[in-house]
Amino acid sequence: MYGQAIDGAPQAGQVSKGLGIDLRSDTVTRPTPGMLAAMSIASTGDDVFADDPSVNQLQDRLADELGFEAGLFMPTGTMSNLCALMAHCERGDEYLVGQLAHTYKYEGGGAAVLGSIQPQPLEQEADGSIAIERIAAAIKADDPHFARTRLLALENTFGGQVMPQDYIHKASAFAREKGLGVHLDGARLYNAAVAQGLQAREIARHFDTVSVCLSKGLGAPAGSVLMGSSKLLAKAHRVRKMLGGGMRQAGVLAAAGSYALDHHVAGLADDHRRADAIAQALRAIPGLEVKVATNMVWVYPGSDAHVLDRLVAFLSAHGVVLLNRRPLRLVTHLDLSEEQCVVVCGLIETFGASSSSMAT
């Protein structure tokens, strides 16, 4: 049962306030000693001149592994997605996207502000999918009154949820039948692949462009790679320059990404397992609704809206760092050890026991 000490880990309730177990996001990971060592010896050049060997190696490697002609290293996933949208679409075009998707809701409106691309947000299912009937209804006729529908953008994972492979196949085939490109915000592509026991290539092959983030569960300090055809990436390269994404000796960062791909992909399964353990502990607390998918645990106020507020206060007081939003999201990652997971689950059990005694 969680709450027991492992290898000298502190028992539940004995955690110092300065412990700082950070469950805000998988973006909080820091480079491991091995990654720092790889960064320190990275071969570098000037990537604006395309002669940084570490960047070129990473781009070529990911493109080959995921089945694309070319790859392009970016400083961030937001830039990677925006470059993809602007490569697929011209001014006055539109892209179809989920109304809660990251490219629509959480990337500053960049497609509209910087690309003059109209987003057409559509209702999503819990796994991020958009009913093909909704996609069909949103595609505009070839008429000067309308923006030109050019692209369908999907996201996998979506809030930790894995998009089903059969849906991806049907949606991408339908989009192409209608003359649309298909882009995947694959910030957590490898989480989706590991969760399904698939090679990431099996997901990526359905898309014209795929953006993969290296600084989330994979643990690199920065970086994302956009994959696609050489023609599309030539446009994306120009956009990257306009956005200020041309870096010089970026091989130091690319080396971190390569190290992550070599050493951290398999460990995503441990993140998923620890998220499930935390969810199980939370489900024992009356008054909460808990959902878990890959490395994300979502906690909703249930029959007693105050229980979640008290839980957040209790965990925060014992050194667990949270994003205090509703629903509450707890994210497991490379920097959350097995011992720390035990501590978190023990704290949740302690809270649950005290809540039960208060109720009686």
pLDDT in tens, 160-214: 999 999 999 999 999 999 999 999 999 999 999 999 999 999 999 999 999 999 9
Task: Read off the tokens for 320.
Answer: 């667990």
Task: Read off the tokens for 326.
Answer: 């509703």
DSSP assignment letter at 49: G
φ, ψ dihedrals at 262, nearest 5°: -75, -35
Assess whether pLDDT exceeds 90 at residue 11: no
Task: Read off the tokens for 179.
Answer: 């003359």
pTM for the model stands at 0.92
For residues 150 and 130, give the distance between their C-alpha atoms in angstroms, rounded to a whole number. 16
From the list 76, 296, 262, the residue with the least C-alpha distance to 191 is: 296
Q: How confident is the model at residue 15 (pLDDT cuts 50, 70, 90)?
A: very low
- The per-residue pLDDT for 6 is 27
Surface-to-core class of residue 68, CB atoms within 10 Å of its CB (0-12 exposed, 13-18 middle, 19+ buried): buried
DSSP assignment letter at 161: B
Assess whether pLDDT exceeds 90 at residue 154: yes
Instruction: Please tell me whether the peptide bond between 76 and the residue prior to it is cis, using omega within 30 degrees of 0.
Output: no
For residues 181 and 164, give the distance between their C-alpha atoms in angstroms, rounded to a whole number. 19
Task: Read off the tokens for 194.
Answer: 């590991």
Assess whether pLDDT exceeds 60 at residue 9: no
- The per-residue pLDDT for 358 is 61
* Mean pLDDT (the chain, rounded): 93
Q: How confident is the model at residue 303 (pLDDT cuts 50, 70, 90)?
A: confident
- The per-residue pLDDT for 232 is 98
- The per-residue pLDDT for 20 is 85
- The per-residue pLDDT for 355 is 74
Helices (H), 224-267: 230-242, 251-263
For residues 333 and 295, give the distance between their C-alpha atoms in angstroms, rounded to a whole number. 7
